[in-house]
Structure 1
């Protein structure tokens, strides 16, 4: 087989390498072309060198090109994969820093909440630019695989306004299934069958079977509470399981910021989170982790390049969906996964226009979703609250309507639990002014927002959050890794 895959945002070096090696685990794909594109020439050259080394070490005919000219990379592509982070860590820092001034404590801030909504405002205009180029220069039946957050908003915009065949992909379902299999004593996830459905980062295991035996709420709660690690790291998630009756795919930290109950009082936050790793609820945890990862990669790049000389181990193919979707579409080897698509009746009690995440099967005929799923009422209610925010956010990003943007932020569950309307209006003004370089659709609104900020009487505070850790130096990271290696 010979076809072209374009990867936008290929400068996300570690993730691009994972996708690349996964795809090359499919024997039929050795003759394909990977076209890498990114706004950073520096990152592009680093990832190209790594992928070239993999190709050379495995004696493959695979072609790898790299260019900052996005249209050139997209020319003739059959598949386009996006893993972009518009605004980089600079804009992301404001997604965390500014809401903290108004009492909004986020762990990640990339899906909804104040940070995720502004992240969407930066992404959506760029996603629509991608779609325009895809329509004009890629293969006629091109498929767009979006890995970039905010998943639902980006996918919604690409389908509804970009008019490109798009599927959103995430790994939360797989990670949740791994946890469940572990607490139930399964040897692997192969023993676990499940239906997991909802919206991205708020997906619910509504049917669980271990070797064919149904697993109920009480058994699952007991298994998690007995686990020596998860009982401590996933306290909030277990509490939601007890009250809702089903387990959420999303991590303790992520889930905490999508709900209005667990992060609204600073003195309560530490009760529900765990500081052993950022993902369990640390304030700005993913920003810290991303910053450390970037610094580590820049410093340790020669070691990453050397590791690329090892043969590809097909047994270590990851559980990311992308390579398996391509394999199913091209070879007709059927794959079952969980995909982000427009609802259109797949989930009966969620809005038809929403981007849902639910089970589907892939073969030569495309992605075929399992329809007629009904969520438990509490799960549907929680998802609908987020969907309403996502819909307004997408429409605001398309129109450049700053008043609609403020209403979207106001209706966010955690923001609404913490902030007053006056605070929300000022916070959005502040975020739009700070991120104006990445928000072209709001250029007309920036001068008035800046003027309002100069005369505002709304009080803010400088607050690091309830559970903030400092970014560790390279030396500290080296020492920690050495200690873990010695202990292991």
Structure 2
């Protein structure tokens, strides 16, 4: 669907910018960069939420906490945290462990912080989906899963939340259009990046946020071409990604495992290669922790059969998307400023 949108954009608005909020973020934007032929940037709110939580752990105002966060979407790491020039990164684990509620809300994330030394942006449940250590044994899951929140890692919690939101939206949106209930009041603004990017591009007012873009040497120990999530600055000249250098080794290792899966999945989606889908699923860290090769092959066959109307390329009916060049006039204007 995203590539069909990109096709329309190439014809009708070749200089437009595609703001993608859809998951799987890294794979979607990677595929659009390869076969879409349009400018694209991926947007998520994990960094904002993690930043807010870190401020809560320290008991400090969020706007006083400076942070550098880098990695890949859903595995982005707060590699530096400071307050008025003082480095707080070494004290983060103590702050989380001593907080009255965070240890119960985020047991998986805090354990990763304990082992890695760096905090991840993602919710407790979301992070656990990308790692092989926390969901492999049903008996152990209660230790790492927060069952008090849908996003705490309860199985199908995310799906059930989305279905509930869908029902709510179907009921409330017509009432918002008719004026029966209030919509978003003019002047109220969320923390989502989209409107700030548009404002910066149109007015020149500088905005800083973490965006999902192509790695071109900004994270030096992750592969070029992969989708990374790093601090960027926006003004009327475009988007300027910042140079990060090397991620901490454990953080980079976790990211690289997922990047390999993403690369195979993107190639499979663009070519309709069923066997490559199976290899991508096989190499997913959590799948590898709980499934045998035979189970993976059978599971993917069942999935592709069930989803055949929406994934025709895996049943001999779809297109083989060609690689398209980047649009003229690159979106990104690179800077090495940290």
TM-score w.r.t. structure 1 length?
0.63
Report SS of the residue matched to 1:275: coil
Among 157, 164, 172, which residue is 2:46 paired with? 172
Give the Cα separation in 1 of the matches to 2:171 and 2:239.
Answer: 41
Among 311, 320, 323, which residue is 2:192 paired with? 320
Q: Deviations over 1:395-434 (max 9, x none)?
A: 0011101011100000000001111101100000000001
Give the Cα separation in 1 of the matches to 2:244 and 2:169.
Answer: 45
Gaps of 5+ in 2: 319-338
Say yes or no: does 1:199 pair with 2:40.
no
Mapped contact 1:155–1:166 kept (Cα < 8 A): yes
In structure 2, relative to structure 1, the CA distance for the partners of 1:302 and 1:164 (3 Å cut) is closer
Pairing 1:377-392 to 2, within 5 Å after superposition: 377-392=249-264
Mapped contact 1:199–1:383 kept (Cα < 8 A): yes
Among 118, 125, 130, which residue is 2:5 paired with? 130
Mapped contact 1:402–1:445 kept (Cα < 8 A): no
In structure 2, relative to structure 1, the CA distance for the partners of 1:399 and 1:320 (3 Å cut) is same
Among 22, 36, 39, which residue is 1:162 paired with? 36
Point out the structure with max Rg over C-alpha.
1
Among 359, 375, 378, which residue is 2:247 paired with? 375
What does residue 56 of structure 2 align with? 182
Q: Deviations over 1:160-200 (max 9, x none)?
A: 1111111000000000000001111112x210111000000
Among 25, 37, 41, which residue is 1:151 paired with? 25
What does residue 241 of structure 1 align with? 113
Moved more, 298-307 or 368-377: 298-307
Give the Cα separation in 2 of the matches to 1:206 and 1:441.
Answer: 40
Report SS of the residue matched to 1:306: coil
What does residue 99 of structure 2 align with? 227
- 1:300 Cα deviation after fit: 4.8
CA root-mean-square deviation: 1.6
Report SS of the residue matched to 1:437: coil
Report SS of the residue matched to 1:298: helix
In structure 2, relative to structure 1, the CA distance for the partners of 1:330 and 1:301 (3 Å cut) is closer
Among 265, 270, 278, which residue is 1:393 paired with? 265
What does residue 211 of structure 1 align with? 84
- 1:292 Cα deviation after fit: 1.6
Pairing 1:257-276 to 2, within 5 Å after superposition: 257-276=129-148
Q: Which has the higher helix share?
A: 1
Aligned length: 316
